[in-house]
Amino acid sequence: MSVEKVGRRNFLKKGTLITAAGAAVFSFEENQLRAHAQQMPPPRQFGGGEDRQPPTPDVAGPMPTGALGGLKISRLIAGHNLVGGQAHSRDLIYVSQLLRNYFTDDKVLETYRKYEEHGITASFLRIEARSLKLAKRHIDTGGKLHWIAQIVINEQDQTRDIDLAVQAGAKLGYIRGLEGDKFFKADRMDVIVKGVENARKAGLTIGLATHGLDGMIAADKMDLPVDFYVKTFNSANYWSAGAPLPPDPNWKPTKQELVQSEYSPGSHDNLWETTPRQTAEFFAKVTKPFIAYKVLAAGAIHPRDGFKYAFDHGADFVSVGMYDFQLKENTNLTKQMFLEKYDRARPWRA
């Protein structure tokens, strides 16, 4: 057999001919890829046939920052999923185990130190035993990260996460996105109101997170007394998000659906932003600071594109889960964007 370059589509096509007896010889991931391959555009070519982007050159100077709760917060905030051993991984079943093996206690502490070396001043913090233990060890050994605590509340328990966040030294927190969505849909915004009030009593600068835009619109209409918003935000410009939905001329808002989805709200593990246009339009009129998360759609969007989209369309900060080996690239990209001319209409709100 002669040596030839076999693209993904040709490989899958050949594989289909060879395995006419059945698809069971393929792995789950291969079958998923085969199902989508014919709908995908040809891969871009960069020399060796891989989809590569050139590395960002080193950018001198400090990390751009904004003020949040009287604190100096880097425009790039570290996310907490990866260091916590979790990740949105679509249909890959080994990713969380891989993360837990990679991010040992020592590696997490090393990564925290590298955040600071690269100018990152803040990190999201999950309120669970291991994360709290490592946050304390980092601070006890001279670390200066500002923790932005993820607060989980419910009808019965409003204070546990708030108390633990304050004990960990957090000055900032936000009501978790799952609760932001859930209590809006259940017509129980009173639970969120109570959580915000309890967080304020404890001395936290408090925000609200959601995945869907509907709950955030409702919170803003009722003038929920939060200090900032945390919202999923990306362009949805990646293949597994699917194609945009055509607007339905007969659609009308309901009590639980205030905006029409721009993308299918299916069960994609990385499809967390189904209204990118309307999210940007919403924040254009909002004066509260805006932290964007899921800006890379679980790694489906390159940081060069994801950061630019978020900042150009109104985000004041982006929160991104990062491996230690990604920090140099991501911080250089952030600094470079603030040195270049950006296409932003919304005033900086932080």
DSSP 77-143: EE-STTTTT----TT-SSHHHHHHHHS-HHHHHHHHHHHHHTT--EEEEE-SHHHHHHHHHHHHTT-
Mean pLDDT rounded to a whole number for the chain:
86
> Which range has the worst mean pLDDT, 28-37, 129-138, 146-155, 178-187?
28-37
DSSP class of 46: B
DSSP class of 152: P
Cα–Cα nearest to 30, from 99, 96, 92:
92
Convert the pLDDT of each residue in 56-89 to its tens digit: 889 999 999 999 999 999 999 999 999 998 888 8
Q: Which fold has domain 65-339?
A: TIM Barrel (3.20.20)
The pLDDT of residue 241 is 87
Cα–Cα nearest to 165, from 123, 193, 194:
123
Q: Which residue has the higher pLDDT, 127 or 41?
A: 127
Asked if residue 182 lies in contact with residue 209, where contact means CB atoms within 8 angstroms, the answer is no
- How far, in Å, CA of 294 to CA of 231, rounded? 8
H helices present in the chain, as ranges = 8-18, 28-37, 95-102, 105-117, 129-140, 160-167, 177-185, 189-201, 213-221, 276-284, 303-312, 327-339
- How far, in Å, CA of 333 to CA of 63, rounded? 10
Helix (H, G, I), strand (E, B) or coil at 185: helix
The pLDDT of residue 264 is 82
Convert the pLDDT of each residue in 201-238 to its tens digit: 999 999 999 999 999 999 999 999 999 999 999 999 98
Q: How far is CA 340 from the centre of its chain?
A: 24
Q: Is the pLDDT of residue 98 over 80?
A: yes
- How far, in Å, CA of 72 to CA of 64, rounded? 10
- How far, in Å, CA of 83 to CA of 86, rounded? 8
The pLDDT of residue 7 is 43
Q: Is the pLDDT of residue 117 over 90?
A: yes
Mean per-residue pLDDT for 253-261? 94
Mean per-residue pLDDT for 37-60? 56
- How far, in Å, CA of 272 to CA of 298, rounded? 9
The pLDDT of residue 125 is 98
Convert the pLDDT of each residue in 135-167 to its tens digit: 999 999 999 999 999 999 999 989 999 999 999
The pLDDT of residue 53 is 62
- How far, in Å, CA of 173 to CA of 125, rounded? 9
Mean per-residue pLDDT for 290-311? 95
